Structure 1
């Protein structure tokens, strides 16, 4: 066997050592680059910390995008409050504002996964207000979260009352039946799988039957036999089940059930999650939903504790200043308003003009009660919202009273009735929901005659005003001062 000379061996050993050093350095650089790329990706989408996740979705294009943004943040924070041991993932469409994404990632601790909106082939089946469900098929992206063993997909109109991590022990698909025939997609458990996800995309392409044109009808078609499956009971040893299961009602309690007893007690399962699948105008975050829906205070308490109302308070203050300015201007302009109402021209107004003036008075009264409702921030705290509404109605009603010379008590009867209705609904001593409903109906029945009398009084006052001297001077003709106006 021939060997290398000693000097050549040393040179060869040195070269080998240098080569190993270069390889190690190159590997270290590649690893460092990979870590930087991973860190960059982690900054964009968030890193997986747990084996399981609670996931919600957000998309744009509805009139209430901001409201659902706030709702998602409150719901996700409520999961942290009940001690959920899982990641919180948001499936966000690529047009969600970047500052919203940043807030949810950095302030709320969510992992944000940005996706493209799935084309809805059933869009033609959506009519009217249901068009807001056009992009709910984005829920299917939950099956693409293959970093997780189980995912609980949830809607933003849920309130978590206690920890529900036992749901991660459920099978490949589990959902709650709050409807006798169809399960509800406001909360369901799934096992992520790219094969299932791609199969669902294929079903969208071929146009699988969909009863409602949204995610509800599509998923019911994917799992048509769920009603016949066994009820989920979490194994005590913590193992995961396989297959599909029905979830007990306590995991998706329709808020409508609450109002029968004014408390929760579902004996066949945990009282864990409240959902609000009712009319979209009565979600728990809207200020006007309380005290019609007392559970709204629970939602706002969570928001107060976690997020506060920093975004809405400046708008409320500006609105308050606007109403104060309107009151001041009305007070200063009142003498001029009176001069408009009394003019010595002898001819009478035509019946058409009188009818238009009376209609203008009625429209002004309706506007005084309607306008404040629409200018208040939708997700402000109910106490602040109702206070601003009542103050706004009072302010605009005073304007109408001064312009049309109406009796104040008659105009403000409905205002006083609203205050009484709030107290009747918010009474904390009702034993159950039936008693509450009967009390509210009784109050409405007793107050209806007063409201009717005030309407008649306002119409009579408008007619009396029109039967006086003509209402307005002719165009281009200077108004003549009367003895009455000189009193001002």
Structure 2
């Protein structure tokens, strides 16, 4: 065999490896292009790591859509998955890998573990290649471009609380000297209300409340000093829920923030329509990263529920329930507690049919898809229970109809303000409660009749003269 032929076959054998390397190789990291930056941080170790990863991608991609004149920087702990880093690099994000700052407040009584690594936010002061950095939490929703913030001074933040500024968005001038001083203050256990970045920075910049309000100079110049930011740069979502519209008179209405409990952040599908602004966040996701990652699971789960309903309706056709099918014998039926056992079984099955689908829905999908999938899943399980116990249709489906009605009541778009909305939802709950109670009593009555008929059948007695009428 000639050398040229040997080289040909060798190249051919290595072709798959070359192709694989080209597809799965490391993505070239983004490089600095601007003198300012929007930055956020990511660390691992919480039950919600993936959700915050999604939220960070949506926020940073939304800044790209707003055509900001600044770099996008992620301060990432060393244990952030490499595939996430690669995806963020593809999004044009500059990733700075750092070691976690040890939190000396973590052993303090009442400390919340979710704040353990939030002091990594102090690494923003090490981004000395930039003139100004706007540091962000993942739960910011940008309504418009905010590049004028880069004209602010050494530290600028907005006061959501009348006396305490919020660290979900603040402007800083990077400085290694300031960073080292802060780390020294951390190790010295400087006063910190919550043991997190919020408490530390409020203590460090303790006179910010007395500083002047920031107004960007018309000539585009950069100012020095410490400033308070207008509330329009950190519009607390709770302000919206009172009027169901934004009326923030100070500063441009540029950024919405969601400083709520972690499980009510806007990226969770169940946050809407409980919190109406959740839909606005998902609109941004739809136009940035989309839902391609979750769609295969959604399709498979939907097919599972549809097949479950179809198989149930076919398999239980003509099925007549007897307690012997539930492993109850003649001697066991003589005990009076078996009606209670059967009632408990029916109630627990019903409860499970509404709880289990909730946890099977992917957490960060669009609320309309999430609630649709939840209602489909709960319906499929309710159909299984109905056919297994031959329960009456309307009582068994009353809770499902009640949940659907509550969603409609909360999502109704014509409420004039949040008070009317809250009263309407409360009125719906008040009028729906008797129907739920009626359904429960009907189901329990049906179970009693089922037990009585089965007892007569097993003990050899003739069937009662009355027929077991369907309750609905």
Identify whether the pair has TM-score above 0.5, normalized to the shorter chain: yes
The match for 1:54 is: 38
Answer yes or no: is the 8 Å Cα contact 1:151–1:192 preserved in 2.
yes
Q: Displacement of 1:336 after TM fit? A: 9.2
1: CA distance between counterparts of 2:197 and 2:379? 44
Answer yes or no: is the 8 Å Cα contact 1:51–1:150 preserved in 2.
yes
2: CA distance between counterparts of 1:240 and 1:164? 14
Of the three residues 306, 311, 321, the one matched with 2:303 is 321
2:320 is paired with a residue whose SS is helix
Of the three residues 158, 168, 181, the one matched with 2:140 is 158
Of the three residues 387, 393, 400, the one matched with 1:402 is 387
Question: Which stretch shows the higher mean deviation, 134-143 or 453-462?
Answer: 453-462
Of the three residues 232, 249, 257, the one matched with 1:250 is 232
Answer yes or no: is the 8 Å Cα contact 2:323–2:451 preserved in 1.
no
Answer yes or no: is the 8 Å Cα contact 1:346–1:469 preserved in 2.
no
1: CA distance between counterparts of 2:190 and 2:28? 34
2: CA distance between counterparts of 1:392 and 1:471? 37
Over 3 Å counting, the alpha-carbon distance change for 1:322 and 1:217 in structure 2 is same
In the superposition, the TM-score normalised over structure 2's length comes to 0.87
Answer yes or no: is the 8 Å Cα contact 1:155–1:186 preserved in 2.
yes
Answer yes or no: is the 8 Å Cα contact 2:321–2:388 preserved in 1.
no
1:318 is paired with a residue whose SS is helix
2: CA distance between counterparts of 1:63 and 1:227? 35
The match for 1:67 is: 51
Answer yes or no: is the 8 Å Cα contact 1:342–1:471 preserved in 2.
no
Over 3 Å counting, the alpha-carbon distance change for 1:116 and 1:471 in structure 2 is farther
The match for 2:104 is: 121
CA RMSD of aligned residues (A): 2.3
2: CA distance between counterparts of 1:206 and 1:341? 69
Q: Displacement of 1:346 after TM fit? A: 4.8
The match for 1:103 is: 87
Structure 2 residues not aligned, in runs of 5+: 1-25, 468-472
Map 1:346-357 onto structure 2 (within 5 A): 346-347=330-331, 348-357=333-342
2: CA distance between counterparts of 1:159 and 1:102? 24
1: CA distance between counterparts of 2:380 and 2:172? 53
Structure 1 residues not aligned, in runs of 5+: 1-41, 474-481
2: CA distance between counterparts of 1:45 and 1:135? 25
Answer yes or no: is the 8 Å Cα contact 2:321–2:389 preserved in 1.
no
What CA deviation, in whole Å up to 9, does each residue of 1:117-169 have, x standing for no partner?
Answer: 111111123758x3112111110100000000110000110100011111111
What CA deviation, in whole Å up to 9, does each residue of 1:334-361 have, x standing for no partner?
Answer: 2696354367965424234433332222
Answer yes or no: is the 8 Å Cα contact 2:321–2:390 preserved in 1.
no
**Higher Cα Rg, which structure:** 1
The match for 1:419 is: 404
2:156 is paired with a residue whose SS is strand
State whether structure 2 residue 446 is matched by structure 1 residue 461. Answer: yes
1:123 is paired with a residue whose SS is coil
1:328 is paired with a residue whose SS is helix
Of the three residues 174, 184, 190, the one matched with 1:192 is 174
Q: Displacement of 1:448 after TM fit? A: 1.5
The match for 1:441 is: 426
2: CA distance between counterparts of 1:66 and 1:472? 56
The match for 2:66 is: 82
Map 1:259-298 onto structure 2 (within 5 A): 259-298=241-280
Over 3 Å counting, the alpha-carbon distance change for 1:349 and 1:66 in structure 2 is farther
The match for 1:8 is: none
1: CA distance between counterparts of 2:138 and 2:456? 54
The match for 2:7 is: none
1: CA distance between counterparts of 2:145 and 2:60? 12
Answer yes or no: is the 8 Å Cα contact 1:232–1:245 preserved in 2.
yes
Q: Displacement of 1:423 after TM fit? A: 1.7
2:274 is paired with a residue whose SS is coil
Of the three residues 363, 367, 380, the one matched with 1:382 is 367
Of the three residues 155, 169, 172, the one matched with 1:173 is 155
2: CA distance between counterparts of 1:169 and 1:414? 55
Over 3 Å counting, the alpha-carbon distance change for 1:204 and 1:361 in structure 2 is same
1:118 is paired with a residue whose SS is coil
2: CA distance between counterparts of 1:472 and 1:287? 49
2: CA distance between counterparts of 1:462 and 1:394? 21
Answer yes or no: is the 8 Å Cα contact 1:126–1:213 preserved in 2.
no
State whether structure 2 residue 201 is matched by structure 1 residue 216. Answer: no
2: CA distance between counterparts of 1:465 and 1:237? 83
What CA deviation, in whole Å up to 9, does each residue of 1:296-326 have, x standing for no partner?
Answer: 2211111111211111111111111221232
Over 3 Å counting, the alpha-carbon distance change for 1:260 and 1:339 in structure 2 is closer
Answer yes or no: is the 8 Å Cα contact 1:405–1:465 preserved in 2.
no
Answer yes or no: is the 8 Å Cα contact 1:45–1:113 preserved in 2.
no
Q: Count matched residues.
A: 432
Question: Which stretch shows the higher mean deviation, 349-358 or 453-462?
Answer: 349-358
Answer yes or no: is the 8 Å Cα contact 1:341–1:472 preserved in 2.
no
Answer yes or no: is the 8 Å Cα contact 1:345–1:469 preserved in 2.
no
Answer yes or no: is the 8 Å Cα contact 1:54–1:151 preserved in 2.
yes
The match for 2:312 is: 330
Question: Which stretch shows the higher mean deviation, 320-329 or 373-382?
Answer: 320-329
